[in-house]
C-alpha cells in the first residue's frame, strides 16, 4: 500500500512555484538591476533603435548565467555530499536556511532583518568594474548571476547546493531566473500598474513560498539521513500506533519475499510489513530509471542500492521492530518498512505463568520512540 508524503521538487507544479518566487522577488530586483536595464535602453533610444532585441539578449544572458551557476552549486553539493548522510545533512542545513530566509522576508522578527550571506568584497568589485566596462545587454545579463548580494538569489543558490545534483541545481535556477524576467524586461509598464503598498505584500507572499520550499528540502534531508523524523516516517509511526498491524503481519518461517516496481516518480508499493529476525528478499523491478530514482538508500541497514533496468534482488534481515525509513538517494521518493515482532509460540500447560507487565499506552510508546530516535541522532 502506498502512502502519501510531502511534495518534492520533481514535478512541474514545484518548478512553477520557483518561477512564481522569481516573479514576486523581481519587485525587489527592480531597484538593483533596473538602472542597468535603463542604461542600454537609453543607449538604444539615442541611436534610434528599438530595445526588443536588447531585452531578448539580456534575458538570454541572465537565464544562462543563473542556470550555469545553479549547476555549479548543485555539483558542489554533490561533491561535498560524498555519503548519503552528508547529502542529507546538507539538505537539512539548506532547508533551515530557506525557512529562516522566508521568515526574514515576512519581516516578523527584527533580529532577522539582515539575515543573508555577506558577499565577498572582491566579487562586488569585479562585478562593478565589469558593469562599467560593458554596455552589451547580453554581458550585463551574464553578470547578473554574480549579484550574490541579492538575498533571494542567495536562497536559490543554497537550494541548488542542497539538491546535491548539477541537473537539479540548473533546473532550480532556470525556473527562478525565468520568473524574474517579465518584470525586469517590462518594468516601466508593469510597475506603473502596481501601487506602492502592493509590492511589500508580494514580497511577503514570496517569503511564504520560500518557507514552504525550505520545509520540503528539510524533509528530504531528514529522510536521507535516516533520522526517522521526516514526514513520511512520522506518519507511518503514528499510523502504526493508531492501527497496529498485528493480524496483517506476514506469515513466514524461513524467508519473506517482497516485490516492488520502480516507476518514474514513485515506488509501488512503498510500504511493507516485515517480521523481525527473518531474512528478506527484496525483489526490485525497475520499469523507469532517471536521475532521482537511480539509487535507493536504507540508512538503518547500511544499504546503498544502485539500480539498473530490469529485476534485481536485495537481501537483508531486520533486527529490530519499528518503522524503518528508506528513500531514493535525493530523499524525494520515500518508503517505509514496518518491522513487527515474530509471533511467539503458545505457552505449554506445564509452563509457569509469567508476570504480566502493565500495557504500554500509545502515548508512552511514542515518547519512548522519540527518546530512542534522539539517542541515535546524538549518539
Same domain, 60 and 203: yes
> Minimum mean pLDDT among 22-36, 57-71, 272-286, 354-368: which range?
354-368
Query: Mean pLDDT over residues 33-57, rounded?
Result: 69
Q: Do 308 and 203 fall into the same domain?
A: no
In a shared domain, residues 215 and 331: no
Whether 243 and 11 have beta carbons less than 8 Å apart is answered as: no
CA distance 360 to 30: 60
199 and 304 fall within a common domain: no
For residues 264 and 281, membership in a common domain is answered with: yes
Is it the case that residue 17 has pLDDT exceeding 70?
yes
Lowest mean pLDDT among 121-130, 167-176, 200-209: 121-130
191, 225, 259 — which closes off a domain? 225
pLDDT value for 348: 38
Residue 220 belongs to some domain of the structure: yes
Peptide bond into 189 cis (omega under 30): no
Based on the fold, state whether residues 276 and 292 are members of the same structural domain: yes
Q: Is residue 152 domain-resident?
A: yes
User: Residue 304 above 60 pLDDT?
Assistant: yes
Mean pLDDT, residues 320-340 taken together: 92
Q: What's 278's domain CATH number?
A: 2.60.40.420
Number of structural domains in the chain: 2
Report how far residue 271's alpha carbon sits from residue 261's, in angstroms, rounded to the nearest whole number: 12
Q: What confidence tens digit (pLDDT) does each residue in 85-138 have? A: 888 888 898 889 889 888 888 888 877 776 666 766 777 677 777 766 767 888
Could you identify the residue written with the cell 510500504? 271
Contacts 24+ apart (CB under 8 A), 147-153: 147/32, 147/33, 148/117, 148/119, 148/123, 149/32, 149/119, 149/124, 150/28, 150/29, 150/32, 151/28, 151/101, 151/104, 151/105, 151/116, 152/21, 152/25, 152/28, 152/29, 152/105, 152/206, 152/210, 153/66
Q: Does residue 329 sit in the same domain as residue 280?
A: yes
Same domain? For 169 and 305 the reply is no
The rounded distance, in Å, linking the Cα atoms of 160 and 81 is 13
Is the model more confident about 359 or about 22? 22
- How much is the mean pLDDT over the chain? 78
Same domain for 87 and 32?
yes
In this structure, what DSSP letter does residue 338 have? E
What residues make up the domain containing 246? 231-342+360-378
Strands of the 267-268 sheet, one edge to the other:
267-268, 256-262, 280-286, 310-316
pLDDT of residue 177 exceeding 50: yes
C-beta separation of 319 from 277 below 8 A: yes
Note whether 150 and 261 are same-domain residues: no
Tell me phi and psi for residue 228, to 5 degrees. Answer: 85, 5
At residue 148 the predicted structure's pLDDT band, cuts being 50, 70 and 90, is: confident
Taking the C-alpha atoms of residue 369 and residue 322, their distance in angstroms, rounded to an integer, is: 9
The answer to whether residues 74 and 170 touch, using CB atoms and an 8 Å cutoff, is yes
Amino acid at each position: 500500500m502506498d502512502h502519501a508524503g510531502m511534495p518534492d521538487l520533481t514535478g512541474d507544479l514545484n518548478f512553477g512555484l520557483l518561477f512564481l518566487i522569481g516573479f514576486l522577488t523581481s519587485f525587489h530586483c527592480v531597484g538593483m538591476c533596473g538602472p542597468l536595464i535603463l542604461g542600454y535602453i537609453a543607449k538604444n533610444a539615442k541611436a534610434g533603435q528599438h530595445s526588443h532585441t536588447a531585452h531578448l539578449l539580456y534575458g538570454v544572458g541572465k537565464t544562462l548565467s543563473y542556470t550555469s551557476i545553479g549547476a555549479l552549486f548543485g555539483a558542489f553539493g554533490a561533491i561535498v555530499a560524498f555519503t548519503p548522510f552528508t547529502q542529507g545533512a546538507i539538505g537539512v542545513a539548506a532547508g533551515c536556511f530557506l525557512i529562516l530566509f522566508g521568515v526574514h522576508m515576512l519581516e516578523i522578527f527584527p533580529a532577522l532583518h539582515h539575515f543573508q550571506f555577506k558577499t565577498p568584497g572582491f566579487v562586488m568589485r569585479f562585478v562593478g568594474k565589469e558593469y562599467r566596462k560593458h554596455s552589451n545587454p547580453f554581458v550585463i545579463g551574464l553578470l547578473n548571476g554574480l549579484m550574490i548580494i541579492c538575498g533571494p538569489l542567495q536562497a536559490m543558490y543554497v537550494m541548488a547546493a542542497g539538491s546535491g545534483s548539477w541537473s537539479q541545481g540548473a533546473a532550480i535556477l532556470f525556473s527562478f531566473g525565468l520568473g524574474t524576467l517579465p518584470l525586469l524586461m517590462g518594468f516601466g509598464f508593469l510597475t506603473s500598474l502596481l501601487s506602492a503598498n502592493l509590492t511589500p505584500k508580494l514580497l511577503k507572499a514570496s517569503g511564504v513560498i520560500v518557507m514552504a520550499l525550505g520545509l520540503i528540502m528539510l524533509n528530504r534531508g531528514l529522510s536521507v539521513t535516516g533520522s526517522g523524523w521526516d514526514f513520511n516516517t512520522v506518519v507511518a509511526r503514528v499510523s502504526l500506533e493508531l492501527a497496529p498491524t498485528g493480524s496483517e503481519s506476514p506469515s513466514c518461517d524461513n524467508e519473506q519475499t517482497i516485490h516492488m516496481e520502480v516507476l518514474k516518480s514513485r515506488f509501488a508499493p512503498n510500504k511493507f510489513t516485515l517480521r523481525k529476525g527473518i531474512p528478506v528478499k527484496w525483489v526490485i523491478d525497475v520499469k523507469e530509471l532517471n536521475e532521482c530514482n537511480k539509487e535507493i538508500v536504507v540508512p538503518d541497514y547500511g544499504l546503498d542500492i544502485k539500480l539498473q533496468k530490469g529485476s534485481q534482488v536485495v537481501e537483508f534481515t531486520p533486527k529490530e521492530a519499528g518503522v524503518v525509513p528508506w528513500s531514493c538517494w535525493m530523499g524525494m521518493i520515500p518508503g517505509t518498512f514496518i518491522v513487527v515482532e515474530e509471533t511467539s509460540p503458545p505457552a505449554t500447560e506445564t509452563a509457569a505463568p509469567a508476570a504480566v507487565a502493565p500495557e504500554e499506552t500509545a502515548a508512552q510508546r511514542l515518547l519512548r520512540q522519540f527518546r530512542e530516535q534522539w539517542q541515535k541522532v546524538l549518539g
